[in-house]
Structure 1
C-alpha cells in the first residue's frame, strides 16, 4: 500500500468532550433509563456547570432539573449550599447583566426544587 501511495495511517475517532459526554449521560438517563448507568464524573460535571447556559443549553437544563429530583445525600446538600452561596454573591452584583440574570434564574429553580 505504501508503494501505491496509499496512506495506512489510522484515523482515530474524535474523542467527545466532557460537555458532550455529560449531556449524552443526561439524555441517556431521560430516554433509556433501563440502560443508563450512574457515573459520578458525569454527575459532577453537570453539577459544576449547570448554571452555564453555554455548557448546559436550556433543553438539557429541563432534563437536569428532573435528574436533580433524585439527587441524594451529600451531593444534594452540597448543591443546595453552593446554590445559596451563589445567590448571596449575585445579590451584591450588577442585576442588569443578562447572563447573570439567567444564572440567577437557574439557581432559583434549583433551590426551589431541592429545598
Structure 2
C-alpha cells in the first residue's frame, strides 16, 4: 500500500465524519418512541408540579412524577428555572426521609462536585457539539456550575428549617 492511498483514505474518512456531524442524527423507531415518552414524562412531571402549587385541592400525589423531578432537579433542560423555584417549595413542604436524602445529596454535590455531578445524554451531546476542546471545557464547566448552584440553593432552602 502506498502512502498516497493511505492519505486519501484518511482524508475520505475525515470528510465522512464531518458530513455525519453536519447531518441530524437519524433515530430508529424505538428510539423515537422512547424520546417521545421522555418528553411526555417531563411535561407531565412539570404539570404535576404546577398543579401542586396552583390547585392543591385537585393535586394528587404521584410517585413516578416525584421520582422524575428528584432525578432531574439539577438538570436545567429537564427542569427549567421557573419550575425549579416551585420544586424548591415542594421539597421544603415535604415530610419524611426523602427530604433528608435530598439535603445529603445536595451537600455531597457541594463538597465534591467533580465526583458527584453526572451529565446525562442531553448534556453530553451539548458538550460534544462544541467544536474545539476549549469550547467543550467551557460548556462542561458551565453545566457543572449550574448544577452546583442548584445544589447550593436546595441545601440553603432545606437547612433553613
For 2:148, the equivalent position in structure 1 comes to 104
The structure richer in helix per residue is: 2
Q: Does 1:85 align with 2:114?
A: no
The answer for the alignment partner of 2:49 in structure 1 is: 26
What secondary structure sits across from 1:97 in the alignment? helix
Which position in structure 2 is the counterpart of 1:8? none
Asked whether 1:59 is paired with 2:78, we answer no
Q: RMSD over aligned Cα, in angstroms?
A: 2.4
Counterpart among 69, 73, 79 of residue 50 in structure 1: 73
CA displacement 1:66-99 (0-9 Å, x = unmatched): 1111122111011111111212221679898111
TM-score, normalising length: structure 1 = 0.78
Structure of greater Rg:
2
Report the Cα distance in structure 1 between the residues aligned to 2:101 and 2:59, rounded to whole angstroms: 24
Structure with the larger RCO, 1 or 2 (CA within 8 Å, 6+ apart):
1
Structure 1: gaps (5+ residues):
1-13
Partners in 2 of 1:100 and 1:64 — Cα distance? 20
Output the TM-score relative to the length of structure 2. 0.57
